[in-house]
Amino acid sequence: MEIYLILPMELILVLTALFRKNVIDAAQKELKEKSELYFEYKQNKEGRKITSITMIIRLNVSKIDKNFLFKRLDDYLASKTKKEFYTDIHKYYTKHQKTLSISDKQTISGHLLKMPDPKTISESLLYHFFEWLEPKLDIELN
């Protein structure tokens, strides 16, 4: 037996606004303040009715542990040459070309042409490069 609760439209609007404010917006604010990742969202509507929410996960470059990132780069360069580093950057670029922004494509192309000191590359690019190069293993323990 199913029971349906019929709520007045005004109450539904209030509950939706409270959910957005107290759950979604609060989580978004806290993640942006404290995490390497945060999200942006948009409400998808048909007319005035919210049918779904699209969330876009973003990298919060200001919260990346830069010391750890550059230590990772030093460890990588201890076993590889600068040329091998840029060969791997080119592989990353080739694999992600369709999803990279135009500015990211221009930046990476410039790096591939000039081959500057790897420590001058943006933290964001290094972060994504190492995530691609050394993906985390998702292991579930029971």
Residues 74 and 92 occupy one common structural domain:
yes
Residues 56 and 70 occupy one common structural domain:
no
CB atoms closer than 10 angstroms to residue 82: 12
Residues 114 and 73 occupy one common structural domain:
yes
The rounded percent of the chain whose pLDDT value lies above 70 is 89
Check pLDDT > 90 for residue 123.
no
Domain count, the chain: 2
- pLDDT digits 0-9 by tens, 4-62: 666 777 777 788 889 999 999 999 999 989 888 888 888 899 998 888 888 888 877 77
Tokens coding 19? 């959910």
Tokens coding 117? 């000191």
**Residue 133 binned pLDDT confidence (cut-offs 50, 70, 90):** confident
Strands 49-59 and 37-46: antiparallel
The count of residues in the chain is 142
Distances (CA, A) of 127 to 36, 71, 111: 10, 12, 16
| Residue 4 lies inside a defined structural domain of this protein | no
| Residue 141 lies inside a defined structural domain of this protein | no
Residues 70 and 55 occupy one common structural domain:
no
Task: State the residue range of the domain holding 18.
Answer: 9-61
Residues 71 and 126 occupy one common structural domain:
yes
